[in-house]
Amino acid sequence: MPDHLYPIKEEAFVRKRIGSVAAILVLGASALTMAMPGSAGAATTATTAPTTNAVPTSCSVSTTITVSPSSTSSAPATATLTATSCPFAPGSAVTLSSPYNTQTVNADATTGQLTLTFGATDVPTLSVNGGTFQSAVFGVNTITATGKNASGATNTATFLVDIESAATATTTTTATGTGSGSLAFTGADLAALIAAALALILMGTAVVIYTRRRAAADHKG
């Protein structure tokens, strides 16, 4: 090979080696990037959600309120209920729902227990914690309290308020006492019955004596 061609061949060889080394460096840099914490590849394989201990809870409490004509919005019959067995997150907001109204109250800041005071009238209407009186029914009224418990899960407390009318109870008792249709049996009635029985006995005795004497007289004659 002519001497003037040696420099050209050597330059091509050097360029080829440099290209190979550059490719190796690029591959090494890519592998290093993939292995570093916080890289895109590492983030993709570390997205498992942490497990929690959030457990939904629920409970129910009930009471009866007896109303009378004097039970008005200014002087209602009252009762208080506390959902002790299913506390909410302390101090958290709780939503109260009924067929007639929705309102928000707060659970106890320390215990998380929810205490509600009910007022009832004979209309009937029902008030919760001194709020506006809402339509209600005689019988069981359901108020559902929904919020979060201490674990972050849903907590539901159901309050059952049975509104009874004192006038209805009295009427029912009276109707039960007179429902048989029979008259009351008193001491005076018993005395009259005994007197009538004695009169019948005396009358029968007199008839027997008279009959025997008449028969004896006829026999002698």
39 pLDDT above the threshold of 60: no
Q: Are residues 40 and 66 in the same domain?
A: no
Q: Are residues 40 and 61 in the same domain?
A: no
Q: Are residues 70 and 117 in the same domain?
A: yes
The backbone region for 152, taken as left when phi is positive above 0, alpha when psi lies in -120 to 50, beta otherwise, is left
Q: Are residues 63 and 145 in the same domain?
A: yes
Sheet holding 154-165, edge to edge: 57-67, 154-165, 139-148, 93-97, 102-106
Full domain range(s) for residue 40? 3-44
The amino acid sitting at 7 is P
Residue 69 lies in a domain: yes
Model confidence at 214, in pLDDT bands (50, 70, 90)? confident
Total of domains in the chain: 2
What does the pLDDT look like over 91-140, one tens digit per residue? 999 999 999 889 999 999 999 999 999 999 999 999 999 999 999 999 99
pLDDT higher for 154 or 177?
Answer: 154
For residues 70-93, average pLDDT: 97
Query: Tell me, what's the pLDDT at 49?
Result: 53
- CA pair distance 175, 31, nearest whole angstrom: 93
- CA pair distance 18, 13, nearest whole angstrom: 9
14 pLDDT above the threshold of 60: no
Residue 196 lies in a domain: no
Q: Pull the structure tokens for residue 43.
A: 């983030």
- CA pair distance 136, 140, nearest whole angstrom: 9
What does the pLDDT look like over 188-200, one tens digit per residue? 677 777 878 887 8
Residue 190 lies in a domain: no
Q: Are residues 148 and 111 in the same domain?
A: yes
In order of 68, 134, 137, 161, the CA distances from 77 in angstroms are 8, 14, 15, 12
